[in-house]
Amino acid sequence: MDENKRPDTMERITTKALADAFIEKEVKKVRQQVGDKKVLLALSGGVDSSVVAALLIKAIGKQLVSVHVNHGLMRKGESEQVIEVFEKQLGANLVYVDATDRFLGLLAGVSEPERKRKIIGGEFIKVFDEEARKLSGIEFLAQGTIYPDILESDGVKAHHNVGGLPEDMQFELVEPIKLLYKDEVRVVGEALGLPHSMVYRQPFPGPGLGVRCLGAITRDRLEALREADAILREEFDGAGLNKTVWQYFIAVPDVKSVGVKDGKRYEGWPAIIRAVNTTDAMSATIEEIPYVLLHKITARITAEVNGINRVLYDLTPKPVGTIEWE
Ligand code: XMP
CATH number at residue 256: 3.30.300.10
Q: What is the pLDDT of residues 129-148, one digit of tens each?
A: 999 999 999 999 999 999 99
Instruction: Note down the domain range covering 262.
Output: 212-313
Choose one of 276, 323, 325 to mutate for the ligand 1 pocket test, by most ligand atoms within 8 angstroms of C-beta: 323
Alpha-carbon distance 266 to 258, whole Å? 6
Q: What is the pLDDT of residues 207-233, one digit of tens each?
A: 999 999 999 999 999 999 999 999 999
Q: Which residues line ligand 1 (CB under 6 A)?
A: 117, 158-159, 203, 205-207, 211, 247, 281, 318, 322-324
Q: Report the nearest atom of ligand 1 relative to the CA of 159.
A: 15
Mean pLDDT of 189-204: 95
Q: Residue 249: enclosing H or E segment and its boundaries? A: strand 247-251
- How far apart are the CA of 207 and the centre of ligand 1, in A? 9
Q: What is the pLDDT of residues 280-298, one digit of tens each?
A: 899 999 989 999 999 999 9
Nearest CA among 210, 274, 241 for reference residue 75: 210
User: What are the DSSP calls for 120-140, one per residue?
Assistant: HHHHHHHHHHHHHHHS-SEEE
161: pLDDT strictly greater than 50: no
| Domain assignment of residue 276, yes or no | yes
Mean pLDDT of 171-176: 96
Q: Report the nearest atom of ligand 1 relative to the CA of 322.
A: 5
Mean pLDDT of 95-124: 98
User: What is the count of structural domains for the chain?
Assistant: 2
Cut 0.85: pTM above it: yes
- How far apart are the CA of 7 and the centre of ligand 1, in A? 29
158: pLDDT strictly greater than 70: no
242: pLDDT strictly greater than 70: yes
Let me know whether 125 and 264 are in one domain: no
Mean pLDDT of 295-315: 98
| Other C-beta atoms lying within 10 Å of the C-beta of residue 254 | 13
Contact 285, 276 (CB under 8 A): yes
**The last residue of a domain, from among 173, 199, 225:** 199
- How far apart are the CA of 324 and the centre of ligand 1, in A? 6
Mean pLDDT of 92-116: 98
